[in-house]
Amino acid sequence: MSETELHWLSVAALSRRIHAGTLSPVELMEHLLDRVRTLDPALESFRLVPRERALATARAAETALRAGESAGPLHGIPFAAKDIFDVRGLPTTAGSKHLDNNVVETDATAVRLLREAGMVLLGKTQTVQFAMGAPGINHHHGTPHNPWAAEHHVPGGSSSGSAVAVGAGLVPMALGSDTGGSVRIPAALCGVVGLKTTVGQVSRAGVFPISWTLDSVGPLTRTVEDAALVYQALHGSDPRDLSTAAARRQDVPGALGRGVKGLRIAFAGAPFWDDAEAEVVEAVRATGEVFARLGAQVGEIELPQAAACYTANRGGLISSVEGNYMHEKLLGEGFSDYDPVVYERLNVGRGKSGVDYVRALETCRALAAEAERALADVDAFLAPATVVPSRPFAELDASIEAYRQATPLYSRNTSIGNLLGLCAVSVPCGFTAKGLPIGLMVHAKAFDEAMALRVAHAYERATEWHLRRPALGWAEAA
């Protein structure tokens, strides 16, 4: 592979070159920074790229390697952080002009752990305002351009910039967060891998909050193996986030290669297929043949708790109430100059009583317990990550109503996993006739990220969808 193709290598492949001494962290960082400078004016995936700081950190990583001080497989690998993660000395804007000057003094725990693992921060990526919005539109800082279409298509949200940066080969891994699908939606729409972790497995300390009940942290990567390597560095208990007190340590990379022979894998029923476009249905259903060929027992499962929890949380009630509280606490009550869609979502929380909130919370908790019992005989279940592919930005931004109608098409399927407390990974499983990616969502039980990644990895190794690359001539010419 030529030097000009370094940007398409996976984290694992880059790691092998770095540790063999055939690629230096500085050379890699310089290459990616030059690519960002060339392509990102059109893609708009990055909010901030501190070039000199990134190069200085890469030089330090290279010096450590020369001294025989490797921090592990992630050493010297560049990464990006969604701009809701605190990075010391840089602003955390959460996608809003309200916080453009919010320079922080301490790294988020996830950022600190990746630094300790030897990774090198390239920059901070764009997000939907306050990380609230499934299509990925941001009217304050701009909407990143999905790399798979020359016409401006939405990237998915809210980890929009992270997915575009990885999908366009600007960085091999980027941090995202997932409250109702904000890792998996943009991963599916941009043709990359996105891991939604179980709440309590990865610290959220130093991450701009939406919902203490539903917020989770996860990586967007080029391959499932890469997601496993990053998750291995991220998961564990953190005194700054009490939800992680009972975090379960796992050897996730070690379990990847076990395959799916003998595993019980099922397609979930309604509501995961409601309103799904034919190309999405065809691509996701075809994955069953792959799993069967690999030796899995493939079947169907009805999961009535899925529709029930979505109904109980209608309008995103839980995150809207909790988000409303957090915004008043952090930013005051000046919601009126927020992005209209964010204002509308927070207003849902303002209009609900404590009884409404507790009822939704307790109903979803009870349904999660029921779902756990219903899934006892299943190792993983499958569904479309989103029921429609990316659509043109102009179409979804034409009116509030157009945006409102599109939102559940992107977030319904993903939000169910959050409400039921599951972990899940989105992996590419096909493309539409227009060349837009389709994502397969693999759910596993709570705290079983190893299983979700193992199943997704087996599928990925048996197919070639993840090897496709977007044609970015339009971005180079912009």
2 given a catalytic annotation: no
Select from 39, 38, 6, 50 the least CA-distant residue to 25.
6
Q: Check residue 324 and give its pLDDT.
A: 87
Active-site residue among 82, 124, 196, 445? 82
Select from 179, 436, 156, 425 the least CA-distant residue to 287.
425
What residues are paired with 382 via a beta bridge?
Answer: 267, 442
Q: Check residue 351 and give its pLDDT.
A: 79
Strands 264-268, 78-82: pairing is: unpaired
Question: Is the sign of the CA dihedral 32, 35, 41, 42 positive or negative?
Answer: negative
Q: Check residue 1 and give its pLDDT.
A: 41
Active-site residue among 24, 158, 203, 411? 158
| Phi (first) and psi of residue 441, to 5 degrees | -105, 125
Q: List average pLDDT for each run of 10 residues in the chain, which is 478 residues long.
A: 77 98 98 98 98 98 97 98 98 93 97 98 97 95 97 98 98 98 98 98 97 98 98 98 94 96 97 98 98 98 97 94 84 71 82 93 98 97 98 96 96 98 98 98 98 98 98 94
What per-residue string of b and e applies to 156-194 under the rule 16 or more CB within 10 Å gives b? bbbbbbbbbbbbbbbbbbbbbbbbbbbbbbbbbbbbbbb
Select from 342, 346, 314 the least CA-distant residue to 416.
314
Token pair in block for residue 286: 């075809």
DSSP, residue by residue, 61-121: HHHHHHTT---STTTT-EEEEETTB--TTSB--TT-GGGTT-B-SS--HHHHHHHHTT-EE
| Phi (first) and psi of residue 175, to 5 degrees | -75, 145
Strands 437-444, 423-431: pairing is: antiparallel
Active-site residue among 10, 45, 160, 182? 182
Q: Check residue 114 and give its pLDDT.
A: 98
Q: Check residue 335 and give its pLDDT.
A: 65
CB 340 within 8 A of CB 400: yes
Q: For domain 15-477, give the fold.
A: Amidase signature (AS) enzymes (3.90.1300)
CB 435 within 8 A of CB 456: no
d(CA 67, CA 240): 33
d(CA 361, CA 214): 11
Select from 288, 232, 229, 231 the least CA-distant residue to 263.
288
Q: What angle in degrees, to the nearest 10, is found between the helix axes of 449-462 and 278-293?
A: 90
415 given a catalytic annotation: no
For residue 45, cis peptide bond before it (omega within 30 degrees of 0): no
**pTM metric for this prediction:** 0.97
d(CA 417, CA 394): 30
158 given a catalytic annotation: yes
d(CA 376, CA 322): 31
Length of the chain: 478
